[in-house]
Structure 1
Amino acid sequence: MSGIGFSEMVLLVLIALLVVGPKRLPEIARTAGQMTRTVRGAWQNI
């Protein structure tokens, strides 16, 4: 997973919760997932 361990992932989630709040986190995670799929699809077409 690109060199990110479990503890780093937990830290990132906690920071995200503090920055955006628990109500907006699912929306932001969904948007990030969609962007990741779009970039991966575009990268495979290159």
Structure 2
Amino acid sequence: KFPVRNYTRCERCGRPHAVYRKFKLCRVCFRELAYKGQIPGVKKASW
């Protein structure tokens, strides 16, 4: 009856909320991987 809307999910854990489209990761997974340095070009902002 209605077409199903596609929505972003975290590719790592499947979380449906707070997902960064660019990285296809939720904020929790993004933070973990960023701290480990596994996401190229991402570093902690400090000024």
Same fold by TM-score greater than 0.5: no
Q: TM-score, normalised by structure 2?
A: 0.29
More helix by share: 1
More strand by share: 2
